[in-house]
Structure 1
Amino acid sequence: MASNFDFQLILAAVLLLGAFASQATALDEEPSMLERHEKWMVHHGRSYKNDAEKAKRFKIFEQNVKFIESFNKAGNQSYKLGVNKFSDLTNEEFKATMLNEGKAPPRPRPSKPASLLNESLAEVPEYLDWREKGAVTDIKNQGYCGCCWAFSAVAAMEGITQIRTGQLMRLSEQQLLDCNLKNYGCRGGWMTWAFQFIMDNGGLVMDSDYPYQAVQQSCNAQNSGNSAATITGYQEVASGESALLAAVTYQPVSVILTHDGGMFQYYASNSGIFSGNDGAGDCGSGFRHAMTIIGYGTSDDGMEYWLAKNSWGTGWGENGYMRMARGINARGVCGIAMEASYPTA
């Protein structure tokens, strides 16, 4: 029979082992996050200039991951967040890098008044995806140059060109960035100014003839010759989602979103339908971003959405695309239905 002394020794050993196990578990938490960061770096091809920068980025990554997991656990919205290519940036860094702030040049107005296509909406299909009709090129990446306006305008022009000719061409954003001087280059601009330039210039060349560099340079006249496609004009869409829906049934449409980064930064694969920072379409203010609406539909649970093409590469969103809630407020989610435009062929 064990003595009381032996029993006390056994109890002390058990308590000691428990303490070690608890300490090991606590120590395992940080390496787990470190391991996630290392894997994330490999997946996104990220490297840092020194250990201090890496430590700084790890802390930001850790804070963002905890925020994402807390948001998803709450389950209060129609979408979830996910770790993506921007997960080692603070919100302020994200806004400064990927969004446009400040005054933009005045928008040029179409030479003729806009007409609402499909005014009755009687012929509008319940679902549309211009990718399935061959009118959308693959996802592009603007990099750290705020020329989303050029990518949106080019995507809309690529769409109408394919619809008109049957040929899908990758047209040049860099030509717009370098040569369309009424816009602000990497500091922002309007798609309507881009469309006006394309008309005045007699079209755009292929991306292969004037490749994207992610920085504004001097206009290369030699590369700007021999336009591959052109347009005859452009139109602004009347405000409101009904007008936007009517326009999208005919072609991809350029739109401007107003938001403050917020949840937009963490929209990732299989996130669901984005419904704003508050779930009711409000996305904050102060910053602008341009995208291209390439379709719309209704989810299995009955939520209507817009299908948007972005220009942040395939490492953001649903392989570079985004589903945004449709019909949740008068302006559209992030004001998506207030400043839309499209080129005419």
Structure 2
Amino acid sequence: MEKLAFVISMLVVGTIGMCGAEDVEAAWEKYLTEFPIGIQTKAEYGKRKLNFEKIHAIIEEHNADENATYTMAHNQFSIMDSEERKQYLLKNFASTKSLYEELGLETVEDNDDSTMRQLPPSIDYRKDKCMQPVKNQGGCGSCSAFAATAVVEFANCIKNGKSVSLSEQQIVDCDFPDRECGGGSYHEYWKSLIKAGGQATSAAYPYISGETRKRGSACLNKPKGAKLAARKPIVALKERDEMGVMKLLSQKKLVAVCIAVTDKFMNYKTGVYTTPCKGDEGLHAIVAVGYGTFKGIKYWAIRNSWSAGYGNGGYVLFQRGINLCGVERDLATVNVA
């Protein structure tokens, strides 16, 4: 009887394992339909499928958690290994910790309780007429260039009444060109745009993911779509100044932020992202475009630069008020001419 029970139990386990394998295979076939990977060698195909299976297990486990505050889904990152994912993150980033102390830079102050009471309970610029469509940095660590540009685009439109797409490629080529796709800091880039006399339009200087054109006079001679203000062009906030960010957003200014990135973040889909970081993750520059509360959790509405296919139309709701993954550490925005 004991032997028979053992055989039956093994058959049950085997059946469950086969069903699980069938589920993964069906998910893989669906993924290939939605995200074609093109012609691959047998070895490359096997590698991609193995990467997919690993993230698929994480997604299934996470989405099955009744206490999860957000959902995950497959996207372009599902078939990438850790080294490939790092290509989308920063290799160079200087903290804004001392930025607000620099001469000539404006800071947000007087953030007392009365100010908080005057702020609206929620703000969301994702569908504002001045918000450019979500862009795609591609396999290049140029997220700071995209964050810096999104802030300038929005500010320029709010002040001058015309929505103009600006050139991230100008930043990649001309500001710290030795870094190429290694990235940099948005406040460094804004300073370089001041020296360059402004930022070119995307039409005049289009983006080429993963490539850097030769540095030269061409970097500075493209038609400019926006210029930073002559007086107090950069607005810097102290670390953890949640109310300062909310105040700036209420003034129709987007705020660049930098976070540490987990694999779960890279496969985020909907809801409020709340997963803590371990401290050894890569950094990624993004933009706060609003704030609010969902099911009792305070959040920032964040604009990403991984295409509209990422998250919810290219955006993510990110837990607010606890400096999750450093989101309230490096805070800055601009004034434009």
* Counterpart mapping for 1:231-242 below 5 A: 231-232=228-229, 233-240=233-240, 241-242=242-243
What secondary structure does 1:264 align onto? Answer: helix
User: Tell me, which stretches of 5 or more residues in structure 1 are unaligned?
Assistant: 1-19
Partner of 1:317: 311
Q: CA 1:75/1:221 → structure 2, altered by over 3 Å: closer, same or farther?
A: farther
Do 2:86 and 2:282's aligned partners in 1 also have CA atoms closer than 8 Å? no
* Counterpart mapping for 1:87-166 below 5 A: 87-90=78-81, 92-101=82-91, 104=93, 109=99, 110-116=102-108, 119=111, 120-166=115-161
Partner of 1:13: none
* Counterpart mapping for 1:196-275 below 5 A: 196-214=191-209, 215-219=211-215, 221-222=217-218, 224-232=221-229, 233-240=233-240, 241-250=242-251, 251-259=253-261, 261-268=262-269, 271-275=270-274
User: Tell me, which stretches of 5 or more residues in structure 2 are unaligned?
Assistant: 1-10
1:180 deviation in Å? 0.8
Distance 2:40 2:110 in 1: 55
1:176 deviation in Å? 0.7
Identity percentage over the alignment? Answer: 25
1:43 deviation in Å? 1.3
* Counterpart mapping for 1:287-326 below 5 A: 287-299=282-294, 301-326=295-320
What secondary structure does 1:342 align onto? Answer: strand
1:71 deviation in Å? 1.8
Once the two structures are superposed, residues 66-93 of structure 1 have per-residue CA deviations (whole angstroms, 9 ceiling, x without a partner) of 2211122233332222222211123x23
Do 1:255 and 1:340's aligned partners in 2 also have CA atoms closer than 8 Å? yes
1:115 deviation in Å? 2.5
Q: With the length of structure 1 as denominator, give the TM-score of the two structures.
A: 0.82
What secondary structure does 1:339 align onto? Answer: coil
Distance 1:293 1:200 in 2: 26
What secondary structure does 1:80 align onto? Answer: strand
Distance 1:34 1:127 in 2: 42
Q: With the length of structure 2 as denominator, give the TM-score of the two structures.
A: 0.84
What secondary structure does 2:318 align onto? Answer: strand
Rg (Cα) greater in structure: 1
1:161 deviation in Å? 0.4
The alignment status of 1:62 with 2:53, answered yes or no, reads yes
1:228 deviation in Å? 1.4
Distance 2:301 2:129 in 1: 15
Q: Which runs of 4+ in 1 moved over 3 A?
A: 20-32, 103-111, 219-224, 282-286
| Structure 1, 222-231 or 203-212: larger mean CA deviation | 222-231
1:124 deviation in Å? 1.4
Q: CA 1:307/1:183 → structure 2, altered by over 3 Å: closer, same or farther?
A: farther
Which residue identity lines up with residue 210 of structure 1 in the other structure?
Y
What secondary structure does 1:228 align onto? Answer: strand
**Alpha-carbon RMSD:** 2.7
Pick the aligned partner of 2:173 from 171, 174, 178: 178
1:33 deviation in Å? 2.7
What secondary structure does 1:55 align onto? Answer: helix
Q: CA 1:41/1:93 → structure 2, altered by over 3 Å: closer, same or farther?
A: farther
Distance 1:25 1:78 in 2: 28
Distance 2:148 2:335 in 1: 12
Aligned pair count reads: 314
Partner of 1:11: none
Which residue identity lines up with residue 236 of structure 1 in the other structure?
A
Distance 1:283 1:264 in 2: 13
